[in-house]
A and B are shown apart, each in its own frame.
Chain A
Amino acid sequence: MSTSPASESPAPDPLLTARDVVKRFHHNCVVDHVSLDVNEGETVCVIGPSGSGKTTFLRCINYLEKPDGGVISLAGTLIGYKIDKGHLVELRPAALARQRAQIGMVFQHFNLFPHLTVLANVIEAPLRVLRRKRSELEDEAMQLLADVGLADKAHAAPSQLSGGQQQRVAIARALAMKPRVMLFDEPTSALDPELVGEVLGVIEKLTAAGLTSVVVTHEMGFARHVADRVVFMDKGQVVETGAAQQVLGSPEHQRTREFLAKVL
């Protein structure tokens, strides 16, 4: 091992690090000391049975849920806290918002803004948060919409789109902030089967282009094909993590095997 080229240059610092993240709801430990490293350009898929805490863990990463323990850092900066004289002090809302702007999130139920057109959905945050010029943003947004195959829907209302189209707009909206990492929370589980492919296709293209992402998914075929690493969670804990082939092909743990036997 010591002669392998990888050990000569030090391993790059992971872009996103979660250390011992704990989240409880009424004494019910939903996320139980979860740790995860995601390197730049890496795609990590999180799988696991319903209620295993995948969504909650993802929401802890961008502080939509405040973790009860553990720390999360993005590019070496703590999320939600600053270090002040040997203490962790919770960040002010403005500073927290700036951190969130670097983390894109795609939700299970799209959560598009219903009172804004597709194009306005995409440019709203960069316009108000990054205070960039509207004309520039519109050109960029049209390009993004074209990338997700929806350039012709730019002036439609979200309610006029199919679920798959809405989710692709949600992806474009998150990308418009040029996030360093993207979090996808079961992006296709609210979709009709024939619409799943179009959304996963977009995500696959993005990850192939080098987007760093954490994807919670029930689509094992997708995970196997796209993930650099797969994390299996159960009852709030990470049971097994490793290369996609290894975790999905020849899992070490009994619980992983049982789960895979059920879903495949």
Chain B
Amino acid sequence: MIRDLVTRSEQAATDRPGEEAWTLPIRPRRRIGYWLVALVTCLCIALLIASLATNKAMQWGVVGTYLFNSQILHGATITCELTVFSMILAELIAVPIALFRLSGNAFLRVVGYLYVWMFRSIPLLVLLIVWFNIGLFYPRIGFGIPYGPVFVSASTKQLVTALDAAVAALGLNEAAYSSEILRTSIRAVAAGQRDAAKALGMRSTVMFRRIILPQAVKIAIPPLGNDTIGMVKSTALVAFIAVPDLLYSSQTIYESNYEVVPLLIVASIWYIVIVTVLTIIQSLLERWMDRSMRSAARPNVAKLAAGSLHSREAFGAWRTVPGLGESETDT
């Protein structure tokens, strides 16, 4: 055993680099595996693209003719509008719901909890159909005194269009999810920030608006962006209540000319475009948030820096005071 060890260490000694090692140039290690994986991946992707491009069922010519069809483009704008308005409605509801859930008042907490519980439980499609048929529940809507006289009223069917019903359903549903994102983002702001704001005499409204919210929003933007992108595709459900969005428009076209696959491809291309734009907006927003720094900019810095009262000699003088042991003699 011991002899084995000895011989091995002798071998190791012969492997030891000589003096000349210090002067040798460095050559990068060959990464054969890396390039092999890259080659195989590219090959697979190329095969997939080729098979799709040459696939007769795809009918790329038909895709080309309908890509900029006016009905399709109108549908795409409806999809964008639905996404934007639903998200705005969702956030308008989500902020108070999130605050209710964080409130010191137990009743508000319960209200917030019930909202989230309800709207996360009910399927979006059910919500959509209920809102579309809201006239069945409340045939007329008006202003007046509850159980008293009504001043103005109108038929619900005329007041609430299919588009309104869609925005209401999508917004109310998303509000439940968004409020959870906001709630956790607010809670994620460091406790020390609250302490500092309170100690400076800020009331809770000022503290929330000026200190907590700006930091919480920064935390909330990636998950809210994620939800917005999810919303783009949730809007496709409005086909059930005949809102002429992107998917519904392509459906109406293929129902008359039976070119199902190409029209679904047209719709998908536009969904990809919308999501890509949103992704870019999200990353710009994130970058802007990282850089933005609210400032009170008035360029009187140089003047004061020159006349600084700070003097290193005066500061830290206590350090030169004799330690406790010696001090007993000089007191």
Contacts and interface: CB of A to CB of B under 8 A. Distances in A.
Contacts, number: 160
A62 B304 CA distance: 33
B193 A147 contact: no
A94 to B, nearest CB: 6
A220 B325 CA distance: 12
A148 to B, nearest CB: 7
B305 A134 contact: no
Given A145-B304, A224-B327, A248-B324, A157 B293 contact: yes
Contacts of A128: 202, 206, 210
A201 B296 contact: no
Interface string A81-119: 000000000000110011111111101010111111101
Contacts of A249: 324, 327-328, 331
A221 B321 CA distance: 8
A152 interface: yes
B308 A149 contact: yes
A73 B202 CA distance: 20
A64 B293 CA distance: 28
A245 B331 contact: yes
Interface residues of A, number: 70
B24 interface: no
Contacts of A147: 309-310
A107 B206 contact: no
Contacts of B15: none
Contact of B296 (A93, A134, A148, A205): A134
A226 B321 CA distance: 11
In this complex, the member of B215, B293, B324 whose beta carbon has the largest number of chain A beta carbons within 10 angstroms is: B293
A11 interface: no
B307 interface: yes
Contacts of B18: none
Given A124-B210, A249-B327, A97 B321 contact: no
A59 B196 CA distance: 11
Nearest to A154: B301
A155 B210 contact: no
Interface stretch (B133-141, B164-172, B238-246, B311-319): B311-319
Contacts of A114: 215
A141 B308 CA distance: 13
Contact of A142 (B190, B206, B292, B300): B300
B201 A146 contact: no
A125 B316 CA distance: 29
B69 interface: no
Contacts of A134: 296
B195 interface: yes
Nearest to B289: A115
A201 B192 contact: no
Interface in B196-215: 196-204, 206, 210-211, 214-215
A34 interface: no
Interface in B279-306: 292-298, 300-301, 304-305
A64 B198 contact: yes
A201 B305 contact: no
B323 interface: yes
A107 B328 contact: no
Given A120-B296, A177-B200, 11 more contacts: A64-B195, A104-B199, A115-B215, A116-B293, A116-B294, A117-B293, A139-B300, A157-B293, A177-B201, A201-B315, A250-B328
Interface of B: 190, 192-193, 195-204, 206, 210-211, 214-215, 218, 292-298, 300-301, 304-305, 307-310, 312, 314-319, 321, 323-324, 327-328, 331
28 contacts: A62-B199, A64-B195, A109-B192, A111-B193, A114-B215, A115-B215, A123-B296, A134-B296, A139-B300, A142-B301, A146-B307, A146-B308, A151-B308, A177-B201, A201-B312, A201-B317, A202-B315, A205-B315, A221-B321, A221-B323, A221-B324, A224-B321, A245-B331, A248-B324, A249-B324, A249-B328, A249-B331, A264-B323
Interface of A: 59, 62, 64, 93-94, 97-105, 107, 109, 111-117, 119-120, 123-125, 128-129, 134-135, 138-139, 141-143, 145-152, 154-155, 157, 170, 173-174, 177, 197-198, 200-202, 204-205, 220-222, 224-226, 245, 248-250, 264
